[in-house]
Amino acid sequence: MMGRATAVSCANIAFIKYWGNRDSRLRLPANGSISMNMAGIETTTTVAFDENLERDELAINGETQRGEAFVRVSRHLDHIRALAGLGARANVASQNSFAMGTGLASSASAFAALTVAGCAAAGLSLSEAALSAIARLGSGSACRSVPGGFAEWCAGKDHDTSYAESIAPPDHWGLVDLIAIVSREHKQVGSTAGHAAADTSPLQKSRVVDAPKRIETCRKALLTRDFDAFAAIVEHDALMMHAVMMTSQPPLLYWSPDTLNVMRHVIDWRERQGLPVCYTIDAGPNVHVITTQERQETLTARLEALVGGENVLAARPGGPTRLIDAEIRH
């Protein structure tokens, strides 16, 4: 069997964060999460199974990978091979639309595209939920990049019940994520190690217990397009996650002075100037500034004045991971 397929996937930004696993092998999260796909911040991946290959091969942006990234991808292909009853190794070629080293997390779009392309190339025809669950095994947040628009990942009880579903299509709400890049350094502690440390913080338990309430509040604010309610819960949830990070052993301090400077401006623009704007921050110093598309221009100009013109990226709500090409020969 020779199968080849290509898929394109958007990265996503979480409004209610995933932080900590109940089962780290299966990446069953401690709590559910909600996110928006980011149009244009994409990974395109081609998987080609080939019985003549002796081992898997991986290239990212044209560069052959042999280290950690390769091992993680090859393990992910093992899940797909096991499901399809396939022995063949694969050649994987992946391209990111965004420059590497922008500090943007690419594991979500990477594992969502790898899953959808890999399963198609292996001749598997699976539901969106099943693809989302498989993507989760590679990187937790990747399960939310499989469905389109705004997605909710239900923590679930086991592999089959832990996947993400779309709660609203991309055109439901004209939001935009303006990413203020305050550092282009590669982060020192990656998410996988961070998740493993979450339980060392005494605050993680309360963060997790309270998560269903935050999910409800965020989902409702999203579905009713209530920006004030949305802003309050998104900022609160990001601060809860960073409080856990800062109080873990060892402590994870992702913010830089520039991070805090952008946060303070965002609060001022909203609370004193009445603009619809809020911030969220992942496992790094960059600030995701969420606003409405009507205010995109105004806020882009203000952010550019703070962090420099070349350091602001914009992403509107994106679609699901899509297969753009597939060919199976028996």
By CB under 6 A, is residue 148 in contact with ligand DP6? no
* Size of the chain, expressed as the number of residues it contains: 330
Q: How far is the CB of 321 from ligand DP6 (least distance, A)?
A: 15
**CA distances (Å), 292 to each of 8, 176, 200, 323, in order?**
25, 6, 37, 29
Q: Which residues pair with 323 in a beta bridge?
A: 7
Q: How far is the CB of 4 from ligand DP6 (least distance, A)?
A: 26
Q: How far is the CB of 245 from ligand DP6 (least distance, A)?
A: 9
Amino acid symbol at 190: G
Asked if the peptide bond before residue 29 counts as cis, ω within 30 degrees of 0, the response is no
By CB under 6 A, is residue 43 in contact with ligand DP6? no
Judged by CB under 6 A, the chain residues 110 through 139 that form the site for ligand DP6 are 139
Judged by CB under 6 A, the chain residues 66 through 105 that form the site for ligand DP6 are 105
Decide: 93 and 133 in contact? Cβ < 8 Å.
no
**Single residue of 118, 140, 170, 320 touching ligand DP6 by CB under 6 A:** 140
Stretch that binds ligand DP6, among 11-19, 50-58, 259-267, 320-328 (CB under 6 A): 11-19
By CB under 6 A, is residue 192 in contact with ligand DP6? yes
**CA distances (Å), 50 to each of 65, 132, 199, 239, 284, in order?**
18, 25, 42, 47, 38
Stretch that binds ligand DP6, among 10-18, 55-63, 201-209, 258-266 (CB under 6 A): 10-18
**Count of chain residues binding ligand DP6 (CB under 6 A):** 15
**CA distances (Å), 158 to each of 25, 134, 242, in order?**
11, 12, 27
By CB under 6 A, is residue 30 in contact with ligand DP6? no
**Single residue of 113, 117, 134, 283 touching ligand DP6 by CB under 6 A:** 283
- The residue among 238, 319, 311 whose CA lies nearest residue 278 is 238
Q: How far is the CB of 67 from ligand DP6 (least distance, A)?
A: 16
By CB under 6 A, is residue 154 in contact with ligand DP6? no
Q: For 128-132, which contacts have Cβ atoms below 8 Å and span 24 or more sequence positions?
A: 128/165, 128/320, 129/163, 129/165, 130/160, 130/163, 131/321, 132/163, 132/164, 132/165
Decide: 139 and 107 in contact? Cβ < 8 Å.
yes
What is the per-residue binding string for ligand DP6 in 236-275, x denoting contact by CB under 6 A? ----------------------------------------
DSSP readout, 193-207?
A: HHHHHGGGSTTHHHH
**Single residue of 4, 76, 195, 219 touching ligand DP6 by CB under 6 A:** 195
**Single residue of 4, 282, 313, 314 touching ligand DP6 by CB under 6 A:** 282
**List of E strands, the chain:** 2-16, 21-23, 28-29, 33-50, 57-60, 63-64, 89-96, 150-153, 164-168, 175-180, 277-280, 287-292, 312-315, 322-329
Q: How far is the CB of 234 from ligand DP6 (least distance, A)?
A: 12
Q: How far is the CB of 14 from ligand DP6 (least distance, A)?
A: 3
Q: How far is the CB of 301 from ligand DP6 (least distance, A)?
A: 27
By CB under 6 A, is residue 109 in contact with ligand DP6? no
**Single residue of 6, 31, 33, 46 touching ligand DP6 by CB under 6 A:** 33
Decide: 165 and 30 in contact? Cβ < 8 Å.
no
d(CA 60, CA 96): 8
**Single residue of 4, 7, 17, 88 touching ligand DP6 by CB under 6 A:** 17
Site residues (vs ligand DP6, CB under 6 A): 14, 17-18, 27, 33, 105, 107, 139-141, 191-192, 195, 282-283
